[in-house]
Structure 1
Amino acid sequence: MTVAEIRIRNTNERISGESNVQAFLEKQEVLYEHWNAGKLPADLQEKFTLTDENKAQILSTFDEEIQEIAARRGYKTWDVIALSEATPNIEELLTKFEQVHTHTEDEVRAIVSGKGIFIIKGTEDVGYFDVELEAGDVISVPEHKAHFFTLMDNRQIVAIRLFIETDGWIAHPYADESFQKA
């Protein structure tokens, strides 16, 4: 099982290993858990262009985990997002995602395939840090915490998104002169 890795941008320090990652993220008020991505049917494990039936199958595969975290944290709705070179308007979407912003609810992603990266504003002593996520990683960035999400070099990801707001993903821009693009 591989787990998320963290890179602190100011120092380039890397944090790896599940207990180290979890401890660091807990201090930053970020929830980090792990689901068994191996449960996903083999034909969906490296598939990044999904039909509605594929998305329903993914939600069904992880229904127990979704119900458990939803009950614990108050999420009311969820969906599947798939991004890859095949995604129409991928550059436009990434430009939208790659702006530092906040939400009035947690931003939750359960990675089921591929890789992605959250860039999150930590405490004053830490500054911005990257959380490199792989299949099985589940992360929840708390409401009002400045962050953004983007793809890694492979530019492929499938993730389950969970929401409290039934309107789905609503971003509030966050201007921050201390933020430096990687």
Structure 2
Amino acid sequence: MAEILIRNTNERITGEDNVRSFLKQYEVLFEKWDTSKLPAELHHKFVLNEEEKQQILDVYDTEIKDLAARRGYQIWDIITLSEATPDLEEKLAKFEEIHTHAEDEIRAIISGKGIFIIKGDEQTGYFNVELEPGDVISVPENTPHFFTLMDNKQIIAVRLFIEQNGWVADPYPDPSFIKA
């Protein structure tokens, strides 16, 4: 279950209804997918071949197509990151730069854990949305944010895109942001 950490106060928000309510005020979509649908052999496998990636997309086909119909997504894929990923630290360094997109950024966490760091209003500042399997989140277009992995550095997620070329990140320099 997702949890939120408000960075400037260390307040933690837990519980699905509380998380959903908090995110809704920032127009962040939050949903849950049933992870029990995933075959057991894929629950903790973070190096996937193309057939295994397609198997995950097939398992969640109904959920993906529902999101696509509601929000205009045209294409989707699987991203998997772990210690086995070549140049993982370089990729994470790139991910950990605040940016915006001209379309929303969505992740459906299939396995592992990740964090979206999102800029809220002036009072709230930045907050972490700590995600685990089954959590689905969409950060609205033009919202300053970045995505990174948690300490275990393992994730499998479905990403959906409106544009055929995927997201284009627009840097968002923000001197008020303090890394954790």
Per the normalisation by structure 1, the TM-score is 0.98
Of the three residues 160, 163, 167, the one matched with 1:162 is 160
- Aligned counterpart for 1:126 among listed residues 114, 118, 124: 124
One-letter amino acid of the structure 2 residue matched with residue 10 of structure 1: N
Letter in structure 2 aligned against 1:179: F
Deviation of 1:169 (Å)? 2.7
Which ranges in structure 1 are unaligned for 5 or more consecutive residues?
Answer: none
Q: Tell me which of 172, 175, 178 is aligned to 1:177.
A: 175
Structure 1 residue matching 2:78: 3-state secondary structure:
strand
Other-structure match for 1:33: 31
Deviation at 1:177, TM superposition (A): 0.7
8 A Cα contact 2:103 2:167, kept in partner: no
Q: Which runs of 5+ in 2 are unaligned?
A: none
Match of 1:73 among 54, 63, 71: 71
Q: Which residue type is aligned with residue 145 of structure 2?
A: H
Task: Report sequence identity in percent.
Answer: 67
**Partner residue in 2 for 1:93:** 91
SS of the residue corresponding to residue 178 of structure 1 reads coil
- Equivalences, count: 180
How well do the aligned residues superpose, as a CA RMSD in angstroms? 0.5
Q: How does 1:40-51 map to 2 (within 5 A)?
A: 40-51=38-49
3-state SS of 2:129 partner: strand
> What residue identity is the alignment partner of 1:131?
V
Partners of 1:47 and 1:171 lie apart in 2 by 29
Report runs of 4+ in structure 1 exceeding 4 Å deviation.
none
Separation in 2, partners of 1:173, 1:40: 36
Q: CA deviation at 1:28?
A: 1.2
Secondary structure of the residue aligned to 1:69 is helix
CA distance in 2, matches of 1:37, 1:103: 28
Distance 1:89 1:95 in 2: 10
Partner residue, 2:52: 54
In structure 2, the residue corresponding to 1:149 is in which secondary structure?
A: strand
Query: Does 1:19 pair with 2:30?
Result: no
Q: Distance in 1 between matches of 2:39 and 2:59?
A: 8
SS at match of 1:113: strand
